[in-house]
Amino acid sequence: MADGVQILTSAQIRATESAAMGSGGTTGAQLMERAGAAVAGQIRLRWPQPRRVLVLCGPGNNGGDGIVIARRLHEAGWPVEVLALPEGPAPDAALMRRRCPVPVRPLGEAAWPAAPAPLIVDALFGTGLARGLGPDLAALLARAGETAAEVVAVDGPSGLCLDSGRVLGSVPVLPATLTVTFDSLRPGHLLDAGAALCGRVLVADIGISSFRPQPAQLVRIEDASLLAPRLSKAGGGHKYAHGHLVVIASGAGQGGAARLAARAGLRVGAGLVTLGPSRDAMAEHAAPPDALMRRALDSAEDLATLLSDDRIAALCLGPGCGVSRAGALLRVALEWRRPLVLDADALTALSQRPELRSLVHPGCVLTPHGGEFARLWPDIAARLAAPAERGPAFSRLDAARAAAVDLGCSVLLKGPDTVIAAPDGAAAIHAAQDLGWLATAGAGDVLAGLISGLMARGLEPFKAASAGVLLHAAAARRAGPGLIADDLPEALPAVLAGLGA
């Protein structure tokens, strides 16, 4: 799991670095010194006793950082060996090589140490990675992986595209125990294969944060403290002031997923929640919570009549609804033009009715998992499924952004790495690779209920989606291993209390 909330792409961090140097307040060599010093410091914090370390350096500035690390550890009395690829045209890295008190030997089979080093520093490639690792290098790294107990990656494991979290080419990447990156996270630390390959990720301040591009468009959503003021009910207000949410439920015999969503909507503070099954399914949807209201909805006309009540603030369509029922209600839901979450069966229904796509509007949040996403956007999904050969590779973030622009709404692409994109370019990533217990039936229905409940309370679509994902994960952490989807809404009161909401 990574620390920090700011995410910059490789291009953005390069621009930040250039702006910092352009200001005249710092030089590239100083930044490299700070970066290398930060990594060496983290190594010494994590492993307080000196141990043999093998530093592998690439041709550019990532390699330059590696040389600084080698020097710093050597000066602290660590036994250090440095193997490096031939220098590229990176003047700061060349300067560091000249200053290095440890012999820098050419990286290759001949120089490989006979006795394996327990700690390897991977400073081969960082944000400059343009293609997959060559086979010779990959073979050496594979051998290193078999023998090294620990690997520290500088900026990221070499071969991992830091913009997408995808491995470039077809050779495996050496997984890191610890990754130290600079100034901010990159998307690739959180997305796709990146989260597992990076190990623990630490962000070192190298004094350039005031030169980041403004406004920063990519923020990781892990700062729950920001939520409390938005979720608090301090100041009172009638129940209608907190929003009336309608959750469409299934026809007879199609299950209770919508009840999970409705329960989550209530727990997250919507003032009222009405569950809308078909008339013949009313009895099976009569189970608690008794706080839920019920209204039979058999047809599009029934839904239109219900939505003509101005006090209804948001609608959730899809969980446990059935594809044909969702399809029958979809046009009315979209033509209502108010806050709307489309999930599950409503997404499949939309993919079958291309004529309705133009009705999707900025007040909508679509919450597909990968399969639903591919049904709605097969071309975008195909780009994501294609092999990643060159960096920056097409990412889940790119995919969600393209989808959000295509339909002009917020899109939340679910997975262990959930990505949220708004049509104006705002985006967020929520990494929950440690929450495998969320891969359980109904967890997505709860998420749809949380987001629509927050929208009923007046949060804008993108913010409701971001806050919903955060609360969902926090509820899962609180429920712990063994959780089932029913536990998630029940964990919310403690989560909200913990946030001070």
Ligand X SMILES: NC(=O)C1=CN([C@@H]2O[C@H](COP(=O)(O)OP(=O)(O)OC[C@H]3O[C@@H](n4cnc5c(N)ncnc54)[C@H](O)[C@@H]3O)[C@@H](O)[C@H]2O)[C@@H](O)CC1
Ligand Y SMILES: Nc1ncnc2c1ncn2[C@@H]1O[C@H](COP(=O)(O)OP(=O)(O)O)[C@@H](O)[C@H]1O
Q: Which residues are annotated as a binding site for K(+)?
A: 62, 122, 158
Distance between CA 7 and CA 12 in Å, rounded? 9
Question: Binding of ligand Y at residue 415 (CB under 6 A)?
Answer: yes
Contact region with K ion (CB under 5 A), list: 115-123, 242-250, 331-339, 364-372: 115-123
Rounded to 10 deg, the angle between the 461-479 and 487-499 helix axes is: 100
Place of tokens 């039979």: 296
Task: Report the candidate in 346, 452, 483, 431 with the shortest Cα–Cα distance to residue 1.
Answer: 431
> Residue from 186, 414, 457, 463 that binds ligand Y (CB under 6 A)?
414
Task: Report the candidate in 216, 166, 213 with the shortest Cα–Cα distance to residue 189.
Answer: 166
Task: Report the candidate in 251, 267, 224, 254 with the shortest Cα–Cα distance to residue 456.
Answer: 267
Q: Could you report how far apart the first and last alpha carbons of the chain are, in Å? A: 25
Contact region with ligand Y (CB under 6 A), list: 127-135, 232-240, 384-392, 414-422: 414-422
Looking at the Cβ atoms of 79 and 134, the one nearer to ligand X is 134
CB 448, min distance to ligand Y, A: 8
CB 141, min distance to K ion, A: 11
Phi/psi at 291 (5° precision): -65, -20
Question: Contact letters (x/-) for ligand Y, 303-342, by CB under 6 A?
Answer: ----------------------------------------
List the structure tokens of 13. Answer: 């961090």
Contact 178, 153 (CB under 8 A): yes
User: Which of ligand X, K ion, ligand Y, none sits in contact with 122, Cβ below 5 to 8 A by type?
Assistant: K ion
Sequence ranges of the binding site for (6S)-NADPHX: 61-65, 126-132, 155, 257, 320, 369, 445
Distance between CA 380 and CA 47 in Å, rounded? 44
Distance between CA 435 and CA 431 in Å, rounded? 9
Burial of residue 384 (number of CB atoms within 10 Å: 0-12, 13-18, 19+): buried
Distance between CA 344 and CA 321 in Å, rounded? 8
Question: Binding of ligand Y at residue 419 (CB under 6 A)?
Answer: no
Helix/strand/coil percentages in the chain, nearest 5: 45, 15, 40
Question: Contact letters (x/-) for ligand X, 170-189, by CB under 6 A?
Answer: ------------xx------
Question: Contact letters (x/-) for ligand Y, 461-500, by CB under 6 A?
Answer: -----------x----------------------------
CB 195, min distance to ligand Y, A: 10
Distance between CA 408 and CA 498 in Å, rounded? 35
| 276, containing H or E segment | strand 272-276
CB 434, min distance to K ion, A: 23
Collapsing DSSP to helix, strand or coil, 482 comes out as coil
Contact region with K ion (CB under 5 A), list: 7-15, 121-129, 379-387, 403-411: 121-129
Which positions from 133 through 192 interact with K ion, judged by CB under 5 A?
153-154, 158
Name the DSSP class of 194.
Answer: H
Question: Binding of ligand X at residue 126 (CB under 6 A)?
Answer: yes
Question: Binding of ligand X at residue 61 (CB under 6 A)?
Answer: yes
Sequence ranges of the binding site: 61-65, 122, 126-132, 155, 158, 257, 320, 369, 414-418, 444-445
Question: Contact letters (x/-) for ligand Y, 7-36, by CB under 6 A?
Answer: ------------------------------
Q: Which residues contact 460 (CB under 8 A, 6 or more apart)?
A: none
For ligand X, the binding residues (CB under 6 A) are 13-14, 17, 31-32, 35, 58-65, 88, 90, 125-134, 154-155, 182-183, 206
For ligand Y, the binding residues (CB under 6 A) are 344, 369, 414-416, 418, 432, 435-436, 438-439, 441-445, 447, 472
For K ion, the binding residues (CB under 5 A) are 122, 126, 153-154, 158
